Structure 1
Amino acid sequence: MSAQDRLNQIVEVAVRLIHLKGYHGMSLRDIAEEIGISQTAVIHRVGSKRGLLVEVIKRYYDATDASRVYLSQFEPGGDLEGGQPRIPAMLRAIVMQNVQQPEMVRLFEVLNTEAMSPEHPAHEYFTERPTRIREEYRRYNWKVPSGVDGEFVYMMTMAAMYGLEGRWLGDPAKVDFVGEWEEYEEYLFPSPLWDGYR
């Protein structure tokens, strides 16, 4: 097996174990045993558990990101090729995806916080993420009301979602992520301005 294929295998097993045990419950030894290699071989590929979690975010979380799936419909060959994506619709897709994978969202939030330190292996990845999100917006012809700065709304509503995610992860029994986001939408995309643009 090539080094790249082995790394992909390690990440795939890690993703499955995170879903089963949570990221605190998953260990490098668990991964090694499942694959049938030594823990040293796993460390050789990812460096540490923290390094593995960064690889999971880069290779899995972003690769399956609901915004990418939603926007792919408007690209050449997509079901809605030539159409205009809508900010509220894309954000709803992200909410619905994240409510199904709380451990992945929790992992993302923890790494995002840890990565504030310049020494963290994911520091550059997270500090550049807002730039990537902004560039994502600029690649498409969004359907927004006349006179509205769509890019500003896009970045602002992403920030609002991150805030709600934090509250939800902190107390999922009391915070209805989907229901509260529906309430957020009423304020972020008010009627009548956003009628026909949701």
Structure 2
Amino acid sequence: MASRTRKSPEVRRAEITQAAAHLISRHGYNGISLKDVADMVDMSQPGVLHYVGSKEGLLSLLITDIYDVYGTPEEFLQTGLPGSDPNHPHLPAYFDYLVAHNASQPELTQLYTVLETEAISTNHPLHDYFLHRPEEVWKHYSKFPWALPDGMDWSRDMQDSVRMSMEVMDGIQIRLLREPKIDYVQEWNLFKDLLFPLPLWDGYR
């Protein structure tokens, strides 16, 4: 009988988070158990607990290991895409990149939408995370030297634009769960023209 290959902790952790993302995106956090995750990765429930600590710990891993590490401004600035010059990046170009990233990861996008909706409940483990997310996003984006049209100031003029852009993406992602299907990128482009209108943003999008 062939011996079973021992997987590294990193591989096991990745398998667990991917399985949890798959299950929660379909059934919600409250609709799954650690046993469901364990069964999907062919582990015992105590084995899964060894890596995540608790069901709430599993949820934290989904955010820190999957959602919050991809599609970031830092990632965008390494792409070489138009508007990604680290010295004066273009915010609308980054949002285009983020939307394209989310559109290419439908299960991850659905996971985020399901969790954000569930987290309206004050008892949800991610309630505070989503409650403070707009403020945290603004703080993080404020670290970058975004190029803006003449006369515009980041601190004075852009917080509402960032907030509304995030709200538009959230709304589109909810709409993606319904029928008839829509194209995420095309829908975003319609709103982008309202949020970053030409000719004001000409050369900065």
TM range (shorter): 0.7 to 0.9
The amino acid of 2:99's aligned partner reads V
**Secondary structure at the residue paired with 1:117?**
coil
d(CA) in 2 for partners of 1:72, 1:133: 19
Shift in Å at residue 120 of structure 1? Answer: 1.5
Change (3 A) 1:72 1:130: farther
d(CA) in 2 for partners of 1:101, 1:15: 15
Q: 1:60 aligns with which of 51, 63, 66?
A: 66
CA contact (8 A) 1:18 1:103 kept: no
2:24 counterpart of 1:17? no
Superposition pairs of residues 83-98 of structure 1, within 5 angstroms: 83-98=87-102
The amino acid of 2:149's aligned partner reads P
**Secondary structure at the residue paired with 2:150?**
coil
d(CA) in 1 for partners of 2:158, 2:176: 26
Q: 1:165 aligns with which of 149, 173, 177?
A: 173
CA contact (8 A) 1:10 1:31 kept: no
CA contact (8 A) 2:90 2:146 kept: yes
d(CA) in 2 for partners of 1:46, 1:110: 23
Higher relative contact order structure (alpha carbons within 8 Å, sequence separation ≥ 6): 2
Residue aligning to 2:143? 139
Percent of residue pairs bearing the same amino acid type: 34
Q: How many residues align?
A: 186
The amino acid of 1:58's aligned partner reads T
d(CA) in 2 for partners of 1:152, 1:23: 29
d(CA) in 1 for partners of 2:168, 2:39: 41
CA RMSD of aligned residues (A): 2.9
Shift in Å at residue 108 of structure 1? Answer: 1.0
Shift in Å at residue 162 of structure 1? Answer: 1.3
CA contact (8 A) 2:77 2:89 kept: yes
CA contact (8 A) 2:22 2:107 kept: no
Shift in Å at residue 177 of structure 1? Answer: 0.8
CA contact (8 A) 1:11 1:52 kept: no
d(CA) in 1 for partners of 2:15, 2:34: 10
Structure 1: unaligned runs, 5 residues or longer: none
